[in-house]
Amino acid sequence: MKAVSRLQRTRVAEAPFAMKAPVDIVLEHLRQVGPAVASLRNESSRLAGWGEELARRLLAGNRLVTAGSAGSAAEVQQFTAELLGRHSGERRPFSVIALRGDPAAAAAGSANLIEIAQGHADEVASLVAAHVRADDVLLVVSASGHRHALLDATAAAKAARATVWAVTGRAPNPLAQAADEAICINAPKPQVREAQLIALQAMAECVSAALHNHTTRPEALPGGM
Its pTM stands at 0.79
Q: What's the CATH number where 88 sits?
A: 3.40.50.10490
Number of domains in the chain: 1
Q: Would you report the helix, strand and coil content of the chain in percent, each value rounded to 5?
A: 60, 15, 30
Question: What pLDDT, on the 0 to 100 scale, is given for residue 177?
Answer: 98
Position 17 in a domain? no
Cis peptide before 172 (omega within 30 of 0): yes
117 pLDDT exceeds 50? no
Position 225 in a domain? no
Position 198 in a domain? yes
Mean pLDDT of all residues in 115-133: 73
23 pLDDT exceeds 60? yes
Position 4 in a domain? no
Nearest to 77 by CA among 38, 40, 32, 114: 114
Least confident of 115-124, 151-160, 169-178, 179-188: 115-124
Residue type, 187: A
Question: What pLDDT, on the 0 to 100 scale, is given for residue 87?
Answer: 57
**How far apart are alpha carbons 134 and 85 in whole angstroms?**
26
179 pLDDT exceeds 70? yes
The rounded radius of gyration (Å) of the Cα atoms in the chain is: 20
Q: Residue 202: is it exposed, middle or buried by C-beta count within 10 angstroms (0-12/13-18/19+)?
A: middle
Question: What pLDDT, on the 0 to 100 scale, is given for residue 92?
Answer: 64
Position 18 in a domain? no
Mean pLDDT of all residues in 64-81: 84
At 5, is the pLDDT very low, low, confident or very high (cuts 50, 70, 90)? low
The sign of the CA dihedral 122, 128, 133, 135 is negative
Distance of CA 183 to the CA centre of its chain: 10
At 3, is the pLDDT very low, low, confident or very high (cuts 50, 70, 90)? low
Neighbours of 176 (CB within 10 A): 20
Mean pLDDT of all residues in 145-157: 93
Position 106 in a domain? yes
Least confident of 2-11, 131-140, 166-175, 190-199: 2-11
Question: What pLDDT, on the 0 to 100 scale, is given for residue 17?
Answer: 54
Position 49 in a domain? yes
Identify the domain containing residue 66 by its residue range. Answer: 34-220
61 pLDDT exceeds 90? yes
Position 22 in a domain? no
Mean pLDDT of all residues in 201-225: 77
Question: What pLDDT, on the 0 to 100 scale, is given for residue 89?
Answer: 55
Report the share of the chain in percent with pLDDT over 90: 54
Question: What pLDDT, on the 0 to 100 scale, is given for residue 91?
Answer: 62
